[in-house]
Amino acid sequence: MADSPELATKALESDAQDDNTAAQTSGIPGDSKPDQGAGSMGEHCVTDRPAPAGQTPTGEVAKYGEVEVYITKPADYPHQPSKLLLLLTGGTGIHSVNNQLQADRYAAEGFLVAMPDQFAGDPAPTSTTTLAADENMSVLEQVKLGMVNVAKSFTIDMWLARHTPEKVLPVLERVIVAVKEEFADAVESGGGVYAVGYCFGAKYVLLLGGEGSQDANAAKTAAAEEEGMVAHGPQIKVGAIAHGTQVTRDDIAGNRVPLTIVAVENDSLFPEDVLESGRQALKEQNVELEVQTYPKVPHGFAVLGDYDDTSIVEAQKEAFQQMLAWLKSH
């Protein structure tokens, strides 16, 4: 999304015209549909579910490449070999307890996890409640609720305008350079950098797995820039993504590393036509791909957090195992 006040204003006007009464619910417990014109970000992309009771993150936040990074390690590291995993979050960012606990789960499975602050200290605006219309609301109450949702959508659009690939990729590239140097043993053990991405972060796993990103070796990049050239090539070895947002067909088609996708049935934020056209492109390129679609779950379900619906909880566990198995098999 271009950094354009005019575009954001049009989005606000569109919201007011399309839905000035109330947010809609999807019929899935704990889910909400994204507001019209919300910049391809839903409630689950910017709001954490309740954290699992009795769990405390075990990692720590440090700076790598002048960027805050949550680092969490296997209990037996460095005495036992580990693999370096880059974890890219949704809009809630690295200080979210749920995201930290999710990183810890990968660490418990033998990965040294680096979870960078993609947003430079500016995580997405959050909402603590799902705003939905009640059939008993008066017309005035519904109009007021609609105005709140329009304002929220406008705020998200403005946030997205501050976090485009042109802004986010250089941040990630600095982190990759720094953590590869700091944890060279883990990079060597895994034969490269592994990556997982949820919601907002899924798009950037795809971009880092493509041929158009800068080489993560600082010396090579500096030399290339001095010569007026930019080195190209995937910066990761393998990728795993869940319910991406703002993902395009070209993002998927440009990926060149083995990839597994956790998809949600009837997901307006990651439509089937985008997924299918990307799938066909990767097939033509002979890129290894696995896709599993989960029915009757909300967008964002694979991000750690409690749900009252046990079927969503089980699907969340299954999605984690899907992504973990893919990483371990590569």
- pLDDT for the residue 243: 96
Question: Which DSSP helix (H) or strand (E) runs through 315?
Answer: helix 310-328
Question: The whole model's pTM is what?
Answer: 0.77
Task: Determine the pLDDT at residue 1.
Answer: 41
Which of 220, 232, 225, 257 is closest to 86 using CA atoms? Answer: 257
pLDDT at 41: 63
Q: Give me the pLDDT at residue 21, please.
A: 33
What pLDDT does 156 receive? 72
Kind plus residue range of the DSSP H or E element containing 18: helix 5-18
The rounded distance, in Å, linking the Cα atoms of 322 and 265 is 16
- Terminal Cα distance for the chain, rounded: 34
Strands 60-64 and 67-72: antiparallel
Strand positions, DSSP E, 38-158: 60-64, 67-72, 83-88, 111-116
In this prediction, residue 262 carries a pLDDT of 98
- CB-CB contact of 96 with 203 (8 Å): no
Write the CATH number of the domain with boundaries 5-125+159-328. 3.40.50.1820
The strand pairing partners of 86, in sequence order, are 114, 195
pLDDT digits (tens, 9 = 90+) for 197-235: 999 999 999 999 997 544 334 434 444 444 443 446 899
The answer to whether 44 touches 90, Cβ cutoff 8 Å, is yes
Residue 211: the pLDDT is 79
What is the 3-class SS of 256-287, one letter each residue?
CCCEEEEEECCCCCCCHHHHHHHHHHHHHCCC
Q: What is the pLDDT of residue 2?
A: 43
DSSP H helices in 183-309: 184-190, 200-208, 218-226, 249-253, 272-284
Those residues whose C-beta lies under 8 Å from the C-beta of residue 257, and which sit 6 or more positions away, are 209, 234, 236, 237, 238, 239, 287
Burial annotation 101-135 (CB, 10 A radius, 16+ → b, else e): bbbbebbeebbbbbbbbbbbeebbeebeeebbbee
Domain boundaries, the chain: 5-125+159-328
pLDDT reported for residue 40: 58
User: Tell me, what's the pLDDT at 158?
Assistant: 81
Within the chain, which residues score under 70 in pLDDT? Answer: 1-45, 126-154, 212-232
